[in-house]
Structure 1
Amino acid sequence: MTVQPTPFPLERARVATPRLAVVIPTKNRRDSLPRTLASVLDNGRADIELVVIDDGSTDGTENYLATVDDPRLTWRRRPTSAGANRARNEGAALSSAPLIAFLDSDDAFRPGRLDRLIAFFDENPDIACTIDGFSDISDSGERVHRLPCTTPDSEKLRQLLLCHCIPLTNSTVTVRRAAFTAVGGYDPDLWRHQDRELLLRLARQHRIAFGAATDVFKYRSGNSISRNHAGYIRGLDDFVARCPDYRSPDYESILSYLTVRGPLKAMAQGHFGDALSEVKAWRKASHLPSGFHVLPGYFMGRRQRRLLEQALGQQTRVLDQLPPALDPLPATTSAE
């Protein structure tokens, strides 16, 4: 009788040299965490490692992680929350693979993503970081965000990042450990725009590439920061404080647009209390524009950003030869 070997038996994972680490920060995501972990561990590869940092959860996350019997998984629990960025940095430090892929605990990887990432970095030793497209899943359905075919040069990439023209989520960021360490990792004191700020620092010293795939599911859960209007102004103020580019006249209108759109969006969606709170926060902001010129600046910035998006959209990949009935949703160049 011939016994067929099991591909990548877990026993081998104990001695395999990790090639890629997946780092997951989590807080009170007990319900979605099994789906997230399965999207990594179901791959079956022995040369990956998964690191989960439980950032002070109170919903039984610790008990669940203790039941996951897989030698590729390492997890730590903090008794009190210190923020997702500190958790990401801690997870990266606990891992050893030369590549680090980040994944939020309410998102998931499509099958084949890890294989593709490892192959891409093997074939492109000059690339330090990639960002990919993704499928945005919400109650209203699925929206696909694709990136352009060609990655712009460093200066243009910085402009697109500062103008919020590129669809971003931490779950599509993969970076070489050496580059991540060289720039100091995620800013531990920034709680919005973490991915954008990290990429801006990386772009100064390293090559970043747009990926060809949309092999990440971004689930918009009820406690996703990106869905909450409250805190938008504070988060933008903190981000702008770290980006001296915004003090240039070239970004004056864009910054007016980015500032005003937060309260306006909250109001348009009927969240009047949040809109009022954001206006009050705006009055206290230290790095955001104010005065009568802000409103005309908003419309100028909106137009400027739209032109950038249109130019970017002309380079965006077409849908992968699927009949319209199989892929009825349009590709986009911005998730905001």
Structure 2
Amino acid sequence: MISVYLPTHNRAALLMRAIDSVLAQDYPHLELIVVDDASTDDTAARIAAHPARARLRYLRQPEPSGACAARNRAIAVARGALITGLDDDDAFLPGRLSGLLARFAEGQWSCVSSSVREHTPRGDITRRVDVGRIDLEAMLHYNRLGNQVLTRTAWLREIGGFDPALPALQDYDTWVRLVTARGAAYRLREASYLQFKDHELTRISGDRTRVLEGLGRFVAKHRDQLAPRHLDSLEILRRRLAGETLPPGDFLRLVNRGNLKGALPLLINTTPTLAALKRLLALRYRAR
């Protein structure tokens, strides 16, 4: 059985879409655990009236405790040997669970994720990046797995689940600990997770102050694992999250093979010509 945890807070309308996308999966052996983080809207009433209410496990937090606490509560009570998650403003695409399971069943991965389709006001965009095998070295540069993975429930419990002390980047922190404990992961080329970018309800990932604070705490927490090349990559990530550019001199100092894709957009926003970019890259790798 695959357990799916779905934390929610005051997003009743969006939650129904997320629930329906899970219940529509072609993989039959699943349980959906909705953890209501003390919502004050009509979430409870909508759950009670859902046509498939009998297929839902609905848990309500006595007071708002945050998404990590809600996820951890679901992880603690999950009955499935395998587990994955869904945010309440996102959705599963058809065949997601069976696709993740097929790759995980190979038996060599700590977890499996997929590419992501983004639904935007300008149309859908599929993000196919970092597909294939992802080891700890790769993960320490930046989060290459995304926000949801399929893994063993016991393994997620072993590492302590999600860290409520982090104000953001909790998924990144959790996957780093999972890959550290259980080995390399895999990201599928196929996009089976749908993120909606066309609504105005706040995502934690959109709160710049919280994300930057989360990154600082992530670095402090994993400092013993982070080599200088990883710290350079995380500095590039910090600048991107802060909305900063990357001047050519800083690009030469910080760029490495683990972060080149993330560094280039920041440099392009600063450097006026492609010729200048080519010269910088040539100098960087000629010096190695």
Shift of 1:167: 5.8
Evaluate the alpha carbon distance shift between residue 252 and residue 125 of structure 1 in structure 2; reply closer, same or farther with a 3 A threshold: closer
> Which 5+ residue runs of structure 1 have no aligned equivalent?
1-18, 269-293, 311-336
Structure 1 segments, 4+ long, off by >4 Å, are 294-298
> Residue 251 of structure 1 is aligned with which of 223, 226, 230?
230
> Which 5+ residue runs of structure 2 have no aligned equivalent?
263-288
Shift of 1:159: 3.4
Structure with more of its chain in strand, by fraction: 2
Aligned to 1:100: 83
Cα RMSD (Å) of the superposition? 2.7
Q: Does 1:309 align with 2:261?
A: yes
Q: Could you tell me how far apart the structure 2 residues matched to 1:177 and 1:142 are? A: 32
Could you tell me which amino acid in structure 1 is paired with residue 126 of structure 2?
Answer: V
Report the TM-score when normalising by structure 2: 0.79
Q: Could you tell me how far apart the structure 2 residues matched to 1:39 and 1:216 are? A: 10
Q: Could you tell me how far apart the structure 2 residues matched to 1:306 and 1:128 are? A: 21
Judge conservation of contact 1:43–1:111 (CA < 8 Å) in 2.
yes
Aligned to 2:219: 240
Shift of 1:147: 4.0
Judge conservation of contact 2:115–2:190 (CA < 8 Å) in 1.
yes
Q: Does 1:218 align with 2:170?
A: no
Write the mapping of 1:74-223 to structure 2, written as runs, cut at 5 A. 74-121=57-104, 123-152=105-134, 157-164=135-142, 166=144, 168-170=146-148, 173-207=149-183, 208-220=185-197, 221-222=199-200, 223=202
Q: Does 1:299 align with 2:276?
A: no
Judge conservation of contact 2:71–2:162 (CA < 8 Å) in 1.
yes
Evaluate the alpha carbon distance shift between residue 120 and residue 163 of structure 1 in structure 2; reply closer, same or farther with a 3 A threshold: closer
Shift of 1:29: 1.1
Q: Could you tell me how far apart the structure 2 residues matched to 1:301 and 1:63 are? A: 55
Evaluate the alpha carbon distance shift between residue 43 and residue 168 of structure 1 in structure 2; reply closer, same or farther with a 3 A threshold: closer
Judge conservation of contact 1:254–1:302 (CA < 8 Å) in 2.
yes
Could you tell me which amino acid in structure 1 is paired with residue 101 of structure 2?
Answer: I
> Residue 3 of structure 2 is aligned with which of 2, 10, 21?
21
> Residue 53 of structure 2 is aligned with which of 70, 86, 110?
70
Shift of 1:124: 1.5
Judge conservation of contact 1:254–1:298 (CA < 8 Å) in 2.
no
Q: Could you tell me how far apart the structure 2 residues matched to 1:45 and 1:295 are? A: 49
Q: Could you tell me how far apart the structure 2 residues matched to 1:143 and 1:245 are? A: 37
Judge conservation of contact 2:233–2:258 (CA < 8 Å) in 1.
no
Number of corresponding residues: 258
Evaluate the alpha carbon distance shift between residue 110 and residue 259 of structure 1 in structure 2; reply closer, same or farther with a 3 A threshold: closer
Report the TM-score when normalising by structure 1: 0.69
Shift of 1:138: 2.5
Judge conservation of contact 1:257–1:298 (CA < 8 Å) in 2.
no
Q: Could you tell me how far apart the structure 2 residues matched to 1:29 and 1:101 are? A: 20
Task: Find the residue that maps to 1:191 and give its secondary structure.
Answer: coil
Evaluate the alpha carbon distance shift between residue 105 and residue 137 of structure 1 in structure 2; reply closer, same or farther with a 3 A threshold: same
More divergent stretch after superposition (84-93 vs 240-249):
240-249
Could you tell me which amino acid in structure 2 is paired with residue 175 of structure 1?
Answer: T
Judge conservation of contact 1:84–1:191 (CA < 8 Å) in 2.
no
Evaluate the alpha carbon distance shift between residue 305 and residue 83 of structure 1 in structure 2; reply closer, same or farther with a 3 A threshold: farther
Task: Find the residue that maps to 1:134 and give its secondary structure.
Answer: strand
Identity fraction in percent: 30
Evaluate the alpha carbon distance shift between residue 297 and residue 66 of structure 1 in structure 2; reply closer, same or farther with a 3 A threshold: farther
Evaluate the alpha carbon distance shift between residue 233 and residue 119 of structure 1 in structure 2; reply closer, same or farther with a 3 A threshold: closer
